[in-house]
Copies of this chain bind each other. A is one copy, B any other.
């Protein structure tokens, strides 16, 4: 941490800060330029609250050198983390496809889709039971019944199920029924929920908030890990920008950056990123080529009658061509779909 003092700060004020920092156990490296006076803090800075320093009226700004996250940081954990879910693994040299409808709608629908995507090569079934919707007047999901139908689909196909948790009231139910608990983009900084799922031992699929920086995504993962749960899969799903042709802008660079900063696996959701079904395949190819560990794709047998997000869902037959077109790209980057 480097403290930049306001120009013309009197020496006595600088000494005051120095004394305080020293009393907190830091060593100080001072550097005096023509206009600015810098104090570099070395040692265990963990007891120092940056807010207190920034609040000092003689401090111009505070510069952070070290990343604020620890447990997710690759610096302290150089090997890739792989997450085991039942007999599957996410991360490493495998490439995982999570597919399924936006919402679970009926047994026929979810079981039918599950069978098709399994046969095509997906290894996880996704489907919304409790749905976060922008409007209170939109379909909110089948709720408990939806969860039961997902379990039926799992029984019929063996595919582990991934579904979104919105309320802490349902955590016990999810721990019992679900294989991977998804935290949605809108709840990425619902710190209360992060802490709660951090206390479970379930794999967590953590989606990047639509205006969250990469650092904030990693800090959200740090929240979960700091409670003890280290089984986290990160998911890039598009960020909010000025461009309005797509619903969000897929931040493809986030994949190699997260790989550099953290040891956690990271997948891409091209369906939500674009919001347009015809963009799913090209973005999926880009995601594989750039080095992602998997894809999360919305698949619906009848998009035009889907109860939500039909415009971004693809049909199973389209998933088949997508999987076939990414298979060889995956190989070229040292991954295998499994």
Could you tell me which residues of chain A, from 269 to 302, have a CB within 8 Å of some CB in chain B? 273-274, 277-279, 282-283, 285-291, 300
Which of B132, B240, B253, B311 touches A246 (beta carbons < 8 Å)? B253
Asked if A223 and B136 sit within 8 Å, CB to CB, the answer is yes
Asked if A306 and B192 sit within 8 Å, CB to CB, the answer is no
- Categorize the interface residue count of chain A: 35 or more
Q: How far is the CB of A297 from chain B (nearest CB, A)?
A: 15
Asked if B310 and A52 sit within 8 Å, CB to CB, the answer is yes
Asked if A213 and B243 sit within 8 Å, CB to CB, the answer is yes
Asked if B252 and A283 sit within 8 Å, CB to CB, the answer is yes
Interchain CA distance A255-B281 in the complex, whole Å:
13
Which of B43, B169, B273, B313 touches A55 (beta carbons < 8 Å)? B313
Interchain CA distance A106-B181 in the complex, whole Å:
38
Q: How many copies does the complex hold?
A: 4
Task: Assess A49 versus B138: contact at CB under 8 Å? Given A213-B245, A242-B211.
Answer: yes
Interface residue? A86 (CB, 8 A): no
For the residues of A in contact with B, the DSSP-based class is mixed
Q: Which residues of B contact A226 (CB under 8 A)?
A: 136-137
Q: Which residues of B contact A278 (CB under 8 A)?
A: 256, 260
Interface residue? A2 (CB, 8 A): yes
Interface residue? A321 (CB, 8 A): no
Interface residue? A24 (CB, 8 A): no
Partner-B contacts on A (CB < 8 A): 2, 4, 7, 29-36, 38, 40, 42-43, 46, 49, 51-52, 54-57, 63, 65-66, 68, 75, 132-139, 166-169, 186-187, 189-192, 195, 209-211, 213-216, 219, 222-223, 226-227, 239-246, 249-257, 260, 273-274, 277-279, 282-283, 285-291, 300, 303-311, 313, 325, 328-329, 332-333
Q: Can you list 27 A-B contacts (CB < 8 A)?
A: A2-B63, A4-B65, A29-B30, A29-B31, A31-B42, A32-B42, A36-B65, A38-B65, A46-B137, A49-B139, A54-B311, A56-B304, A57-B277, A57-B303, A63-B65, A68-B135, A134-B216, A167-B168, A209-B211, A213-B242, A214-B243, A240-B242, A245-B253, A252-B252, A253-B279, A256-B283, A282-B289
Apart from the given pairs A51-B138, A286-B290, A329-B332, 18 other A-B contacts in the complex at a CB distance below 8 Å: A4-B65, A29-B30, A29-B40, A33-B65, A49-B138, A49-B307, A57-B303, A135-B222, A168-B168, A186-B190, A211-B240, A213-B243, A240-B242, A241-B251, A249-B251, A252-B252, A256-B278, A288-B289
